Structure 1
Amino acid sequence: MIKINNLLSVGICLLFLGCSTDEKQTVITKKTLVMSEEFDVAGAPNPDLWSYNIGTGNNGWGNNEKQYYTDRPQNIIVENGNLKITARRELYLGSAFTSARILTKGKLEQKYGRIEARIKLPLGQGLWPAFWMLGANSDTVIWPACGEIDIMEYLGNSPTKIFGTVHGPGYSGGESISKNFFLSNSRFDTDFHVFGIEWDENKINFYVDDFLYHSVTPSDVPGEWVFNQPFYLILNIAVGGNLPGSPNAETPFPQSMLVDYIRIFE
């Protein structure tokens, strides 16, 4: 269930973080827990927090994806303490695959803070799960001017790699500001990992398991910095599309993304 409070967390953790020698020591601050979605009530996702996108890419999310997003329990359910989003190979209303995409638009919109989720990812060519955010003004300001923060994106044929990205005016799609993170002793489809950002008016830091691998500031983007407004959360598994390509005969279905929790700190 969703929990909103003003509890102080355990404090400040000092770690040496980074993916290259030019990264510096960073302070990870978990101060005031303002939201925790623990997925501890079985059934449909909490309607006070989550809405659904229903349909195909023709509804506006594009990328030539192959799935039909539904709200059926076959595609999305809370069970065993996890949110479970499942992509299936099945004929459904003209599409060859089904999946789910949920969002907090109009229900939970956050400006700044630490935003993290503990997730286990699926495996297979053509699968494209993500934990990401769009500017709350996305209905009136056309993407990418509304801004997009991809806290975690993953391609199912690369089980040791994820990437974090920002999109905005002048730096979207293939021109986005993005960086990969590679696991050396584990895989994203066999274990849960924590994906997060720390975000303020002049910086967005990207983390995997509290390891800093990517940092973006206004000086890093060639256009306007559009990350000084509230954003809403999105969770989904896309199937196919411009980035991952289509599933092949070896792609196992069904495949699920499991989300243990989402937490926001200010």
Structure 2
Amino acid sequence: MFRRLTLAAFITAISTAVSCAQPTEKPKATTPQYEFAPTPSWQDEFNTPGKPDAAKWSYDLGDHGWGNNELENYTDKVENAKVENGNLVITAIKEPSGKQQYSSARLISKGKGDFTYGKFEIRAKLPKGRGTWPAIWMLASGSEYGNKGWPDNGEIDIMEHVGFDQDKLHGNIHTKAFNHAIKTNKGNNIVVKGLSEDFHVYTCEWTPEAVTILVDGNAYFTFKKEVNYQWPEWPFDKPFHLILNIAVGGNWGGQKGVDDSIFPQKMEVDYVRVYPLVTK
């Protein structure tokens, strides 16, 4: 009995010593959790008729094709962009305009609404017909990276649509490492009925770790920042601004030609709301 007790005590002592000698396990690093403020920090409800609010929107102007062989001339005319009946209405018109045979509008928030991270929510109804190419998207407001232009500083496409493929919606990102020009594009598409008959909510949720594109609350594309990414893969840590436009034709929108019988065509925007990012 005495020997058994001594042996048991000896084993217990050794186990205790070994357990005390083990290094204390470091607590695992926790991933930051993000959420978005419940109220917008920047918004336009488009409730004042006439030209778009000059405190929030400027215009990109020109008829030079915009790097995509587009066929429209972007103007600041009220016929191409105006607020009526509680909506911003961007209209593409078949008419001689500048050096082109179509006019349209491209509104930008640059210098008036520039954002790093956040939830971007836009409720809109799209144009319809072969040759239309509407977009709700974002570009970098500065040029800190690479060759100072596209795609080095990044692009986020919250909504793109081409009229020859009516029921398909597209969400994409473009960077120096990932873009369609070098066939490394990152994006996805989804079939949604009634894009030109009904309003839908187009959303981007942008955090330091991911860009997620949604329609009507349904996420269909997420681009995550990997641990080895530098600016060529992830330039999404600088201010970006919003762009709303209808292009005509172009390398993508004009792949199957342009049906002149459909014009004029409109994109109606009910609201634009930006909710800032907050850390839990």
Fold in common (TM above 0.5): yes
Question: For the residues of structure 1 that align with 2:273 and 2:247, how far apart are their CA atoms?
Answer: 23
Q: What is the number of equivalent residue pairs in this alignment?
A: 236
Question: For the residues of structure 1 that align with 2:109 and 2:233, how far apart are their CA atoms?
Answer: 25
Question: For the residues of structure 1 that align with 2:270 and 2:220, how far apart are their CA atoms?
Answer: 22
SS at match of 1:77: strand
Question: For the residues of structure 1 that align with 2:149 and 2:43, how far apart are their CA atoms?
Answer: 30
Match of 1:111 in 2: 116
Question: For the residues of structure 2 that align with 1:28 and 1:121, how far apart are their CA atoms?
Answer: 29
Identical aligned residues as a percent: 41
Q: 1:64 aligns with which of 55, 63, 69?
A: 69
Residue 159 of structure 1: CA displacement? Answer: 2.3
Determine which structure has more spread, i.e. the larger CA radius of gyration: 2
Match of 2:203 in 1: 196
Task: Tell me which moved more, 155-164 or 120-129.
Answer: 155-164
* Greater fraction helix: 2
Match of 1:23 in 2: none
Match of 1:226 in 2: 235
Residue 178 of structure 1: CA displacement? Answer: 1.1
* Greater fraction strand: 1
Question: For the residues of structure 1 that align with 2:270 and 2:55, how far apart are their CA atoms?
Answer: 18
Residue 250 of structure 1: CA displacement? Answer: 6.0
Q: Map 1:110-189; keep pairs closer than 5 Å.
A: 110-138=115-143, 141-173=148-180, 174-183=183-192, 186-189=193-196
Question: For the residues of structure 2 that align with 1:141 and 1:55, how far apart are their CA atoms?
Answer: 21
Residue 224 of structure 1: CA displacement? Answer: 2.5
SS at match of 2:40: strand
Residue 57 of structure 1: CA displacement? Answer: 2.7
When residues 32 and 249 of structure 1 are mapped into structure 2, their CA distance, relative to the original with a 3 A threshold, is: closer
Q: Is the 8 A contact 1:119 1:192 kept in 2?
A: yes
Deviations 1:99-118 (A, max 9, x none): 00010111110111110100
SS at match of 1:119: strand
Q: Is the 8 A contact 2:80 2:91 kept in 1?
A: yes
AA aligned opposite 2:95:
E
1:216 aligns to 2:226 (yes or no): no
TM-score (normalizing by structure 2): 0.79
Deviations 1:93-152 (A, max 9, x none): 221111000101111101111101000001111110000000111498211111100000
AA aligned opposite 1:224:
E
Question: For the residues of structure 1 that align with 2:129 and 2:40, how far apart are their CA atoms?
Answer: 35
Residue 30 of structure 1: CA displacement? Answer: 5.2
SS at match of 1:227: coil
AA aligned opposite 1:172:
N
Question: For the residues of structure 1 that align with 2:70 and 2:129, how far apart are their CA atoms?
Answer: 15
Q: Is the 8 A contact 1:122 1:256 kept in 2?
A: yes
When residues 70 and 247 of structure 1 are mapped into structure 2, their CA distance, relative to the original with a 3 A threshold, is: farther
Residue 249 of structure 1: CA displacement? Answer: 3.9
